[in-house]
Amino acid sequence: MDITTPPTRNHALLDWVASMAKLCGPDHIHWVTGTDAEHGELTAEALKQGVIKPLSKEKRPGCYIAYSSPNDVARVEHLTFICTPTKEEAGPTNNWMAPDEAYKKLGALFEGSMKGRTMYVVPYVMGPLGSPFSKIGIELTDSVYVVLNMRIMTRMGRPALDMLGDHGEFNHGLHSMLDVNPDRRFICHFPQDNTIWSVGSNYGGNVLLGKKCLALRIGSYLGKTEGWMAEHMLILGVESPEGQVTYVAAAFPSACGKTNFAMLIPPKRFNGWRVWTVGDDIAWMRVGPDGRLWAINPEAGYFGVAPGTSFYSNATAMNTIRKDTLFTNVALTEDGDVWWEGMGTPPEHLTDWQGRPWVKGSPEKAAHPNSRFTAPAANNANLSPFVENPSGVPISAIIFGGRRATTVPLVLQSFNWAHGVYLGATLGSETTAAAVGKVGVVRRDPMAMLPFCGYDMGEYFAHWLAMQKKLVHPPKIFMVNWFRQDENGKFLWPGYGENMRVLKWVLDRALGHVGAQETVLGWVPRGTDLDLAGVDISEEDFSKVMRIDTKEWLVEIDAQQELFERLARTMPKEMVLQRELLRARLERLDQD
């Protein structure tokens, strides 16, 4: 076995790498340092292996395109396991495997899996370097594609080892692609051991172990035990013309526009306003000494959904991905550029995401619906200057949003923290292409964390409720729905930049600048409090988008029953009572 010199004296790390190498049997071990020179070598290696292809140097400098196996294009929730000593700890919404069984089963798959391959040792930090909020992980992987992605998504290499030192704690991540076969694909989390084992996939969410696996599944478990929160939330800062910046965290299920919202460009009407991106997918939040909730973005890049991204929907992202970006499963133009559905008019000819010729007008999608860009946050012209702040940014408002064609109004504010937790806990959303399975069916996705909570969801709600005790200045909680449709299936709200109107009301409420009108569901904007000047929406459509229909809500409450039943063992009483209170209010209204 050929080994680059381990740049560490951390014995726990050296011993663990040695034992995993013994199990997987790679020909080489490469300790990743993260330098530019090394990046050049890894890129050359990936090109040689045919894992990536260069894009046009003029159009996309430093950019590459990769294609995954057609059987490996999204997260696989049915093959994702939480391996806690008891099934109860994982809870009824997670797949569970006993730790011994999982180590045995996956151990047999890992055995000799890296023969003829290189094992890359990838040290990385989630969170700003040197921040006490940050966590260190080591991912052992046989995929050079993973290493190239981790370089963008995390603080990878030597700085991570320096932060770890000789004795530090780290997450133990082991990944092998094997033969990318869905029959031999498992993503297992061992929260008690701070360990993740992933086999048989090479798709981002399954294999970039810092992201969903560490930052959310293991992170939420650590958050519960250490008294903080790991959430599937973007973080943004809104700067007023006077220079006051207010921070908001927002949870939306996968592929519901978090990246677009995090990079929002205010419309003309909001001259002098600016939105700063702190993060687009994950927030780690702690109560600060001032009693406010402070959030960091543990990531260093964006693993964004490409389809639908355009200069209209997200100009900031389009500019971010101009250089140094890795594209996966998008279509390729004849002049070495990328294209996907929703970007604009397609060229006459493309090569589709499976390498097949594609002609304009073809009914087939040229890019996979879950195709992605991996881009450095540093490319974002609106990146918050506080993104590296070791203590994060103070959050004044939390937003929950789903993708709902009916029922859920454009915006409302919860009555209080517990009611806000109830709104988040019962969030429903139509499924998207980000996970394998049927698209477009409403499922409960509590706090957009259903696929990402590393322990029992009822306990997770209890943790949310318990956080209130520590918060002297809790953020105000809101619910939004950008996706409501009319009877003909047309979206009622223009969305994208116009969401600034809603955001402004959220800020006004969070900062106590405006009153509001009470409804059965929560507080909503009064007459003119939501600035609609210049928005392309009729009065009638606006009333439709804000409509709270008693009958629909009685059905919605019934649709929450399955979640309440599944989580009955640990569902906090407050959640049950919130639901009953809402039911009583709705029934009274329905009778009147």
Q: Where are the alpha helices (DSSP H) in 409-538?
A: 417-425, 457-470, 499-510
Beta-strand pair 171-176/195-199: parallel
Q: Which is nearer to ligand OXD, 75 or 117 (CB)?
A: 75
With CB atoms as reference, the residue minimizing the distance to ligand OXD is 254
Residue 260 beta carbon to Mn ion: minimum distance, rounded to whole angstroms: 13
The listed partner (ligand OXD, Mn ion, none) that binds 434, CB under 5 to 8 Å by sort, is: ligand OXD
- The correct pick among 281, 299, 337, 459 for binding ligand OXD (CB under 6 A) is 281
Q: Rounded to an integer, what is the distance from CA 493 to the centroid of its chain? A: 24
Region class of 508: left (phi > 0), else alpha (psi between -120 and 50), else beta: alpha
Residue 75 contacts ligand OXD per CB under 6 A: yes
Active-site choice (24, 63, 188, 256) = 256
Residue 414 contacts ligand OXD per CB under 6 A: no
Region class of 185: left (phi > 0), else alpha (psi between -120 and 50), else beta: beta
Q: Which is nearer to ligand OXD, 251 or 411 (CB)?
A: 251
Binding mask 232-271 for ligand OXD (x = CB under 6 A): ----------------------x-----------------
Residue 365 beta carbon to ligand OXD: minimum distance, rounded to whole angstroms: 18
- The correct pick among 66, 150, 248, 434 for binding ligand OXD (CB under 6 A) is 434
The listed partner (ligand OXD, Mn ion, none) that binds 205, CB under 5 to 8 Å by sort, is: ligand OXD
State how far the Cα of 264 lies from the Cα of 403, in Å rounded to an integer: 18
Residue 13 beta carbon to ligand OXD: minimum distance, rounded to whole angstroms: 28
Residues of this chain, 283-312, that bind ligand OXD according to CB under 6 A: 303
Closest to 121 in 3D by CA, of 69, 173, 74, 170: 173
Please indicate whether residue 213 is annotated as part of the active site. no
Residue 141 beta carbon to ligand OXD: minimum distance, rounded to whole angstroms: 18
Beta strand segments in 135-253, E: 135-141, 155-156, 171-176, 186-190, 195-199, 229-231, 233-239, 245-251
Bridge partners for 276 per DSSP: 237
Q: Which is nearer to ligand OXD, 114 or 434 (CB)?
A: 434
State how far the Cα of 244 lies from the Cα of 541, in Å rounded to an integer: 33
What tokens appear for 5 in the block? 């010199």
Q: Considering CB under 6 A, how many residues would be counted as binding ligand OXD?
A: 6
Q: What is the DSSP string of 172-197?
A: EEEEE-TT--GGG-EEEEEGGGTEEE
State how far the Cα of 573 lies from the Cα of 522, in Å rounded to an integer: 20
- Kindly report the backbone phi and psi dihedral angles of residue 488, in degrees, each rounded to the nearest multiple of 5, phi listed first: -95, 10
- The correct pick among 34, 91, 200, 205 for binding ligand OXD (CB under 6 A) is 205
Binding mask 90-129 for ligand OXD (x = CB under 6 A): ----------------------------------------
Residue 230 beta carbon to ligand OXD: minimum distance, rounded to whole angstroms: 14
Residue 258 beta carbon to Mn ion: minimum distance, rounded to whole angstroms: 7
Would you tell me which residues interact with Mn ion (CB under 5 A)? 254, 281
Beta-strand pair 326-328/64-66: parallel
State how far the Cα of 151 lies from the Cα of 232, in Å rounded to an integer: 21
Give me the active site residues, please.
256
- Residues contributing to the site for ligand OXD (CB under 6 A): 75, 205, 254, 281, 303, 434
